[in-house]
């Protein structure tokens, strides 16, 4: 077999294949649900209900989507430049850490600072976190996939160390947990009485900002050129390494905002289970969105819905919640194949 490029893919092709991919992953997962002895239709119904069946459920989904939008954007912007940032998890925790450091008076640090300052400080923290691997990449040619992955483990241990040491909340009854943020460092709710905080709005704003950067600015143009053909970019006078550093700054900062938003908007303090893998899930979010910043919002809400729905479903049915991860993993793999098939056709000989 051979792949032959299609010069003008039809609309049916470019919409049809991704749709089929999504459908196929649902079919695959339905079989696994059958394996668990449950009815796939009922299970999918329960997932849907758990994700959007009530106002509470829908708000829960949007709350869960918030960090995923940030990490999804972080991954999308980096992958555009073919910068393989798999370290959004670490950057998220650094963002959360900085938020706590600047957001509470319990530590004797000059906090709490104005909310906007805390936000920027956390972004800076996350950005610096990614700068290391990118410098190793540009200076020594060290593959950033492995370094960012390994840093996730290092940062988590570092946070654990702090939470059991200097950052430990004396009121925490022995749990490894930071002191709570002061009230003025918390993100308020968007509408009084509704359980949805300003972090979600901030995430939407970030999506638009990233979209504008990618399509309207010279930096966005440079990022795309570097991602698609670094040789040609360098030849044309685009400072490739500098663009990669800027991209890292943007990407790390966005991932850190996920930590900021979770701590300041939702949890109020830093714990070791702040993120159930938001950083890694961000990769799925970004890929499902085809790296489009506005698409990230939709795909994050979809992914969050799957998780929230699966939680609700597993309480009612005998299907383990890991069905959500399975669905996303299959969707991811089918989707990359489908995207290929929108641009190439398989021919024999």
Partner 1 sequence: MPNDSSAQEVVLRLNGITKRFGNLTANDSVDVTLHRGEVIALLGENGAGKTTLMNILFGHYTADEGTVEVFGQVLPAGATGAALRAGVGMVHQHFTLANNLTVLENILLGTSSLWSLGRGRQKAQSRVMKLAEEFGLAVDPSAKTGQLSVGERQRVEILKALYRDARILILDEPTAVLTPQEADALFETLRRAVDQGLSVIFISHKLQEVMAISDRVLVLRHGKLVGETRTDETTPHALAELMVGEEITQPVPSEAKPGAVLLSLRGVSAHPPGHRTGLRNVDLDLRAGQIMGLAGVSGNGQGALADLLSGEARPESGEMWLGQEKAPPWSPRASLAARIGRIPEDRHSTGSVADFSLTENAILESYRNPGISRAGWMRWAAAQAFAQKVIARYDVRCPGPDTRIRLLSGGNMQKLILGRVLESDPEIILANQPVRGLDIGAVTYVQERLIAARDAGAAILLISEDLDEIMGLADVIRVMSDGRLSPEFPRGTITPAELGRWMAGEGFERAA
Partner 2 sequence: MEIFEILFSASFWAAAVRIASPLIFATMGELICERAGVLNLGIEGIMVAGAFAGWMAVYAGTGLWAGVFIAMLAGMLFGLLHATLTVPFGLSQHVVGLGITLLATSAAYYAYRLALPEVSSPPRITPFQPLEVPILSKIPVLGQALFNQTPLTYLAFVIVGLTAFVLYRTPLGLALRAAGENPSAVEAQGLSVTALRMGAVIIGSGLMAVGGAFLTMSAFDSFFFEMVNGRGWICIALVVFGAWRPGKALLGALLFAAFDALQIRLQQTGLGALVPYQIFLMIPYILSILALILMSRRAEVPAALMIPYNRGER
**With CB cut-offs between 5 and 8 Å by kind, which of partner 1, partner 2, none does residue 232 bind?**
partner 1
In the block, tokens 């840093």 appear at 151
Q: Please list every residue from 225 through 244 that binds partner 1, using CB under 8 A.
A: 225, 228-229, 231-237, 239
Torsion of CA 7, 11, 16, 17, to 10 degrees: 20
**With CB cut-offs between 5 and 8 Å by kind, which of partner 1, partner 2, none does residue 58 bind?**
none
Q: Is 7 in the site for partner 1 (CB under 8 A)?
A: yes
Residue 307, CA distances (Å) to 36, 186, 322 in order: 18, 26, 9
> Segment contacting partner 2 (CB under 8 A): 57-65, 209-217, 220-228, 327-335?
327-335
Mask: binding to partner 2, 48-87, rule CB under 8 A, as x and -? ------------------------------------x-x-
When binding is defined by CB under 8 A, the residue of 27, 194, 232, 340 that contacts partner 2 is: 340
Task: Encode burial over 75-90: b for 16+ CB neighbours within 10 A, e otherwise.
Answer: bbbbbbbebbbbbbbb
Residue 345, classed as helix, strand or coil, is strand
Q: Is 141 in the site for partner 1 (CB under 8 A)?
A: no
CA angle 315, 19, 55 (to 5 degrees): 40
How many chain residues touch partner 2 (CB under 8 A)? Answer: 46
CA-CA distance, 99 to 103, in Å (whole number)? 6
* Shortest separation between residue 337's beta carbon and partner 1, angstroms: 19
Task: Supply the Cα-derived Rg of the chain in whole angstroms.
Answer: 21
Residue 239, classed as helix, strand or coil, is coil
Nearer to partner 2, 154 or 205 (CB): 154
Instruction: Report yes or no: 324 and 310 within 8 Å, Cβ to Cβ.
Output: yes
Instruction: Report yes or no: 68 and 306 within 8 Å, Cβ to Cβ.
Output: no
* Shortest separation between residue 234's beta carbon and partner 1, angstroms: 7
When binding is defined by CB under 8 A, the residue of 42, 220, 241, 326 that contacts partner 1 is: 220
Residue 60 burial by Cβ neighbours in a 10 Å radius (0-12, 13-18, 19+): buried
Torsion of CA 230, 233, 238, 241, to 10 degrees: 0
Q: Is 2 in the site for partner 2 (CB under 8 A)?
A: yes
Q: Is 140 in the site for partner 1 (CB under 8 A)?
A: no
When binding is defined by CB under 8 A, the residue of 34, 175, 318, 345 that contacts partner 2 is: 318
Q: Please list every residue from 290 through 349 that binds partner 1, using CB under 8 A.
A: 348-349
Q: Is 170 in the site for partner 1 (CB under 8 A)?
A: no
CA-CA distance, 110 to 293, in Å (whole number)? 36
CA-CA distance, 159 to 155, in Å (whole number)? 6
**With CB cut-offs between 5 and 8 Å by kind, which of partner 1, partner 2, none does residue 310 bind?**
none
**With CB cut-offs between 5 and 8 Å by kind, which of partner 2, partner 1, none does residue 217 bind?**
partner 1
Q: Is 77 in the site for partner 1 (CB under 8 A)?
A: no
Q: Please list every residue from 155 through 194 that binds partner 2, using CB under 8 A.
A: 157-158, 160-161, 164-165
């Amino acid at each position: 077999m051979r792949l032959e490029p299609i010069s003008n893919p039809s609309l049916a092709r470019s919409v049809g294949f991704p749709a089929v991919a999504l459908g196929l992953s649902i079919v695959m997962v339905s079989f696994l649900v059958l394996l668990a002895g449950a009815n796939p239709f009922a299970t999918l119904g329960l997932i849907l209900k758990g994700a959007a069946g009530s106002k509470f459920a829908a708000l829960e989904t949007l709350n869960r989507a918030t960090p995923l939008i940030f990490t999804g954007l972080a991954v999308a912007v980096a992958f555009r430049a073919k910068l393989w940032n798999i370290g959004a998890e670490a950057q998220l925790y650094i963002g959360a850490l900085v938020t706590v450091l600047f957001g509470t008076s319990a530590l004797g640090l000059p906090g709490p600072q104005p909310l906007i300052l805390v936000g920027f400080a956390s972004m800076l923290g996350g950005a610096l976190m990614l700068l290391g691997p990118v410098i190793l990449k540009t200076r020594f040619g060290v593959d950033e996939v492995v370094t960012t992955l390994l840093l996730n483990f290092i940062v988590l241990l570092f946070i654990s160390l702090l939470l059991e040491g200097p950052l430990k909340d004396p009121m925490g009854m022995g749990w490894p947990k930071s002191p709570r943020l002061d009230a003025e460092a918390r993100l308020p709710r968007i509408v009084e009485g509704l359980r949805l905080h300003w972090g979600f709005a901030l995430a939407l704003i970030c999506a638009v900002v990233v979209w504008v950067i990618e399509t309207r600015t010279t930096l966005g143009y440079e990022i795309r050129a570097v991602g698609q053909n670094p040789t040609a970019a360098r030849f044309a006078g685009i400072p490739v390494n500098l663009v990669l550093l800027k991209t890292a700054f943007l990407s790390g900062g966005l991932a850190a905002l996920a930590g900021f938003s979770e701590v300041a908007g939702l949890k109020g303090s830093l714990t070791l289970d702040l993120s159930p893998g938001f950083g890694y899930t961000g990769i799925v979010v970004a890929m499902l969105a085809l790296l489009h910043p506005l698409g990230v919002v939709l795909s994050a809400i979809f992914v969050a819905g799957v998780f929230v729905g699966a939680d609700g479903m597993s309480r009612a049915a005998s299907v383990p919640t890991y069905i959500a991860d399975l669905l996303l993993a299959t969707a991811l793999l089918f989707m990359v194949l489908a995207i290929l098939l929108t641009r190439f056709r398989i021919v024999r000989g």
